[in-house]
Amino acid sequence: MRPLLALILTVLLGSTTAAVLTKDGKQICPLQGQQFPVPTNLSQDSIFNEALQSLEATLHANISQTPYNETTFSIGVFSANDEDLLWEFHHADELVKNSSLGANDVDADSVYRVASISKILTIYLWLIHDGDRRLNDPIIEYVPELATGDAKGRDYAVPDWSEITVGDLMMYLAGIGRDYGLNDVAIKNSVTEYLSADTVQMFMSSGPPKEKPVCGYFKNGYDYIACKEDNYIQAVANLAAVFAPGYTPMYSNANWAILGYALEKLAGEEVEAVFNSSLVEALGLTGTSYTTPKIVTKHAVIPNGNVSSSSWDDELGPLAAAAGAYSTTNDLAKIGRAILNSTLTSKAVTRRWFSTSTFVDSLDQAAGRGWEIFRREVNGHTVDVYTKAGNWGSYTSVFALIPSYNIGFSILSTSSSAHGKLTASLPNLLITTLLTALEASTRSQATHNFAGTYTDPTANSTLTLTLDTSPGLKVTAYTSAGVDLLSTVFGRPDYVVDFRIVPNQLYDRRGSVGFTGIYALPEDVPKNGDFYWPCQNWLDIDDYTFGNVPLGQMVFEVDASGRACGVRLVALGMELERVQLPFLTEYCEAQGIGLGGVSAASGSDGMRT
């Protein structure tokens, strides 16, 4: 038997494009999204666990090297289906081990400052409270004070607040400045400390600045001067615009400070109160707070015990909605599970949140509502990784969700001498290791749970599913009353159609898994960089229907482990039993699953939008 990691690498390296090539050089194009049902019981999955062991060995091999040995960090991997962490790794550097305040070692309950992960939490609070139905509202409906911004008497453009929506702020498309005050060189003894004396003198002799920030910057290196609630909006209202609204994505902390004000107007109470009731209390979080914890406990991770130089105790004022939160590995796993499982929002809202809002100038990167999205090719299909990085003082962090596999991870860290170096490299190691293992585990489980033949001998009807190197379950036989639908409906006698089924997330009644059919001819690979209209599968997904129901729509009845016992061909109203080993047949019969167990007795089959 080949080592499992060899299988994993084969899965990853089998394709370098967003399509898989057939033996005759044609390409098969997948749809965006899950290609198979998400893997379950990963804590017991041998492929996945061997990958985690390899990951842990790599970390141990490097722990004495920079930046690992100069960084205190915690890593947690979690899935939507497991209450406990799938894997965790923790390391405390000497500055934490010898700290006179807070923790001297770290674990999954250690509290770190998570910085800009706060942006995801702020959006989550909005979606929990109100869904996404108001995201096209102009922001001035919630923060009318912004309308006081006035370009008159100024020789620079200010934002057109009447054209900026709530969604623009969430999607990095508002076009307003990144920060108010943070790196303004008009302020002495702030960012100017990192500039040469000649450069500072040049600025100071250039005449008075247009406006001089009164807050929102660091003084003397690490003393943060927070803005007051009552003067921040007025200051930001006249902050110079950078782009027109909706033009191009641009990172901005000010966006989220404004969203914090808007959320208060929407909810009728302060953001911190919404945070505590809708998130901390709702999910039972034990180490998460909207602002600096009031008490330094044994779980607080503070390098050298210095709350000032580490920026542990920085109070951010309005900027708390952008970067003020603190959390733990365990708590971020709870938040990640809640998002993936739509625990606090509708499933439709969650699906829309997991979407690209705009692309940056890179084919493998995009922006979403708060998300920094990275796209990876895995076995001929694209997997979107929804991430949010954080950086404040000595603390850096990464939070990532991968809905294609219902899994996520977090990296929380702090370092005084190797700031940000670990979180710049670790995500690549985790993503590469996790995606390859998850794809291999997913395909292995799909083979076990769904591949095989389903039949109703009395009706002379058969469905056969297999897995090959391409994404999706391949339909190799589909007959009804002796009629071969693959050649008579979906194909023609002179060519063979490629017919696959992928999960459709429509039938979520316990014990049911819905699939939709995708059928197309394998295509020629575009030559000479041609880009127009390759991969057209998404154009004709439900092209053939019977009584308004796609002929490719199928609902599988599965047992508690996810193993299919039967299938209902929805359009035909036909139920087929899975042909399997005798002990499996007996198990399905004992559970009442199989022929008759996949009927439409439940009415909608648990179908939800």
Residue type, 197: A
Can you give the pLDDT at residue 546?
95
Residues in contact with 47: Cβ distance below 8 Å, sequence separation at least 6, in sequence order: 4, 7, 8, 437, 440, 441, 444
Q: Residue 337 is encoded by which pair of tokens?
A: 């599970």
67 upstream amide cis, omega within 30 of 0: yes
Provide CB contacts within 8 A for 272, sequence distance 6+: 290, 291, 320
**Angle at which helices 46-62 and 4-13 pack, to 10 degrees?**
90
Beta bridge partners of 8: none
Q: What is the reported pLDDT for 381?
A: 92
pLDDT score at 521: 74
| Domains in the chain, CATH or no CATH each | 112-131+251-442 (3.40.710.10), 451-590 (no CATH)
Q: Please report the DSSP string for 157-178 in residue order.
A: ----GGG-BHHHHHTT-S---S
d(CA 279, CA 21): 46
Q: What does residue 44 show for φ and ψ, rounded to 5 degrees?
A: -110, 5
* 110 and 93 Cβ atoms separated by less than 8 Å: no
The reported pLDDT for the residue numbered 542 is 79
Residue 549 has which token pair? 């129901």
Q: Within the chain, what is the greatest distance between any pair of CA atoms?
A: 93
* Separation CA 193–CA 180 (nearest Å): 18
d(CA 440, CA 12): 9
Residue 17: left (phi > 0), alpha (psi -120 to 50), or beta? beta
Closest CA to 443 of 38, 60, 110: 38
pLDDT along the chain (609 residues), means of 10: 34 44 73 94 96 97 97 99 97 98 98 99 98 98 89 82 98 96 86 83 79 89 88 91 97 98 97 98 99 97 96 97 99 99 98 95 94 94 97 98 98 95 96 96 97 96 95 96 91 78 89 92 75 78 90 94 95 93 58 47 35
At residue 608, the pLDDT reads 32
pLDDT at 567: 98
**Confidence (pLDDT) at 526:** 76
Kindly give the residue spans of alpha helices, DSSP state H, lying in 456-603. Answer: 485-488, 582-590
pLDDT at 463: 98
Question: Tens digit of pLDDT for each residue in 14-40?
Answer: 333 456 666 666 777 888 999 999 999
344 CA to centre of own chain: 16
**In sequence order, what are the beta bridge partners of 577?**
455, 566
